[in-house]
Structure 1
């Protein structure tokens, strides 16, 4: 008998009770698969001391701006973020919307929302062209969210987009389009939290005609006989055959469920192993340049070393492929050592100083998952806000990752298209003042710096400081050029930059120009500062760049 046949025969003799829960005897075709995905060998080990040797690659430091398609089945209802959790919270706006539009969550759960999602207007090539024109140097696609649904094929999660919903390899489509447009490709991974995030699917109404009727979070494969999901186990999606989180977390507040060591229900080893295997297979199949984790530090830390192993695998695989470490990994709420191991990500917020190590802010022009109500009330961030945020973040040694929400069908709405077009116009003229730059000796000047707000949890200080005005200026440098960007409408014929007072700046200013224009502008450089005469065509602009030599 051949070795593989012998192996199958041997495994077939093992009682089923001793086999891993998601495997069957016929799956054991390769002895290496018994333990799951192998971690790539290399210089990086799954320890903090080893990972602290990481160096952020120059390409990422140069790139500065990325666009993110935070898009999955939770966009199908077009009713905002965390739909798959909130639809099970009785009395919430999302619950009421769900009951009205789909039915009671005991009868029509999130698995059924997935079945409705077809993504029939998704055109990745056209979208990536728009993102590229808007100045993006890298692109992120959502690989999975807390809803536990993978947007790529893999043997570890049968609930994925190739079998349900669109029935397409969405990550594969995104990856191909990014490559075709010369953009670095990233994936965001959020599924580690499904264990607690989905606990609301175990609840039941406390009031009304459905009081006491459980939602569909505990249903099993046996319940699917004759239904559209016949033969599938919903627990592979919901992961809810476990006790609810205890004590104060029973109320299921947003933040207290997040950190595993604070009293929440702790996942099983099988759950952690499955997450590891899903993520390693994602990295191996698509070889992303960037990986974003929506986790405190790393996924499942500190109850599991899965995140450490994934980090070491990503770095070692990048070295093997490129001959050097070109990959970028992101985590949130990092201590001093952990910031050396990966890029610190701040959600919907910014640092208030020049950080010694490159970092990133991630934000969205609307809600993380598409919300039609924001379109209806014209509530998106403007191109002005996006560009001013980018310039501010870059002055502090940061990058900006901007989510532009896609509708459930995979298309952009008309307002989002207009915002991207306006960003494109600014980038066409001023891109050189952002990309490839490094922080100057100070980040800038102006009243907004006197009103900075501290970070809360993973960020969330966005929009809480004083609005920018023409007195707010941010600096950057490249090739002996200092870029000074005025973050507000210029209303007069002159601009004063106090930082360049001859008492503070001893160098002589030789020339002031505009990006893409070699014609010098008139200026005066004295004890007061640098006074630049502003061409009339620039008055009223919200982010005017001056090049100072």
Structure 2
């Protein structure tokens, strides 16, 4: 009898395993997910904010990619610090009244006449990126691919080219992974002021671009009451505009189509889909994407081989890869995560003339910090409307690549050490970050600032790295070995007077005789 019970129990377990060969549209199933090793090894991806909004290329006080929202917004209809009236007045002065020249009228001006997918892919390789994420659609819902679901796309309008498809071919031919980004969940409210102020969004023919028309009584609710204070109005109308069933279904259909046509290795979602109305669609797409990946042969149940990025709490932790916009983890995370950031200082992500970009040193320090905590950096660039990269952005790419060509072994395919870093000043400590190789035979100690002479790093000591374990210590890119000592108080190393030939950050390579116990 016992043998029969054991046999039946074993058969039940086997049956459960076979039953779980595909994902279901529920969180319990989707949490059977592990990010692919290629992604955790990659550490750096490039991305772009590029689309119709690149034509006006005007950020005002906020962001150029939000031009389509602010061009319809009157003074006092949003928070003061956003100053939407700057864009509103700029548009009237430059292009004419919004009732005569709407956002849709920029589309014929978006020609991408100098766009070369191969040049973009070469820039990725030159800059040391291991994957490239193409903007599929932003909040404006204009599709940058050959969609059959709407006329508002880059094949039927504007450039008359499949921009996503061209980039996938160019990027993957160079051995890089390819991703797409989708920001369209919030489209239902992005053009809210277009609806509110009775411009071209009220035309039902434009609803595939501007979202389902906002009608009474919602439209009446979000209008100002004469004499009402701005703060009172903002509080009253918050959350009033919600996605219709048409908006929700449209989002899921396009999201699936972009997945099916281009089989992306990574699918990035911006915020907007984390509200309750999207939950069933989020679960449905998670199931769809992971099961498709298994069909494509990229992975299996539990590790489908693809990356799905989410923000806020759109997915439960562990069901996909959490993304932090211009932020990150404060400590070593148990699972790989991602920071998405932009080359620009300030709020804008889309191209806006005259806006300064961050220094190469700032970006390299950010990358080193992120990697030390088990993160990946997806860095966004801002091409011009014609498809060309501004010279300052190309220079940044070249400088990043030059550093990574020498120091990349401290970044790529590494894992966190026992602690992510050590901060301090003077000669007893410096601002450092730690990584290690997967074999646990090399520890990288990267100095974010150069200090010549003797320094002591307290996190490395005879308790964390047993005496007699170190075989060789060197500065990456410098042939001569460094003098060092280790005791219970720390690891002391003497750095040369002159910096290495590279700038920005300076990895010390501590080679061990054998693998030793380190954090996984």
Within 5 A, what are the aligned runs for 1:100-115? 100-115=93-108
Within 5 A, what are the aligned runs for 1:241-260? 241-243=213-215, 244=218
* 1:287 partnered with 2:293: no
1:153 to 137, 146, 149: 146
Partner residue, 1:475? 434
* 1:485 partnered with 2:446: yes
Within 5 A, what are the aligned runs for 1:12-23? none
2:112 to 119, 124, 130: 119
Within 5 A, what are the aligned runs for 1:342-381? 342-366=320-344, 367-374=348-355, 379-381=356-358
Partner SS state of residue 354, structure 2: helix
Partner residue, 1:544? 506
Partner residue, 1:165? 158
Partner SS state of residue 74, structure 1: helix
Structure 1 position 493, deviation (Å) = 2.2
Partner SS state of residue 179, structure 2: strand
Cα distance between partner residues in 2 of 1:389 and 1:217: 41
**Equivalent pairs, count:** 456
Partner residue, 2:244? 268
Partner residue, 1:308? 283
Partner residue, 1:440? 417
Within 5 A, what are the aligned runs for 1:69-108? 69-79=48-58, 80-91=64-75, 92-108=85-101
Structure 1 position 302, deviation (Å) = 3.9
Structure 1 position 248, deviation (Å) = 8.0
Within 5 A, what are the aligned runs for 1:30-429? 43-79=22-58, 80-91=64-75, 92-204=85-197, 214-220=198-204, 233-243=205-215, 244=218, 263-295=239-271, 298=273, 301-322=276-297, 323-324=299-300, 325-334=304-313, 338-366=316-344, 367-374=348-355, 379-429=356-406
> Structure 1, unaligned stretches of length 5 or more?
1-40, 205-213, 221-232, 449-468
Structure 1 position 444, deviation (Å) = 0.7
Structure 1 position 536, deviation (Å) = 3.5
Q: Aligned in 2, Cα 1:445/1:304: closer, same or farther, shift over 3 Å?
A: closer
2:49–2:65 Cα contact (<8 Å) kept: no
Structure 1 position 371, deviation (Å) = 1.1
Cα distance between partner residues in 1 of 2:276 and 2:89: 35
Deviations 1:247-271 (A, max 9, x none): 7898999xx99xx9x7332222222
Cα distance between partner residues in 2 of 1:219 and 1:445: 59
> Structure 2, unaligned stretches of length 5 or more?
1-19, 59-63, 76-84, 512-520
Which piece of structure 1 moves more, 236-245 or 94-103? 236-245
Q: Aligned in 2, Cα 1:140/1:444: closer, same or farther, shift over 3 Å?
A: same
Structure 1 position 147, deviation (Å) = 0.3
Deviations 1:125-149 (A, max 9, x none): 1111111111100100000011011
Cα distance between partner residues in 2 of 1:68 and 1:90: 32
Cα distance between partner residues in 2 of 1:114 and 1:319: 37
Partner residue, 1:515? 476
Structure 1 position 173, deviation (Å) = 1.0
Within 5 A, what are the aligned runs for 1:444-455? 444-447=421-424
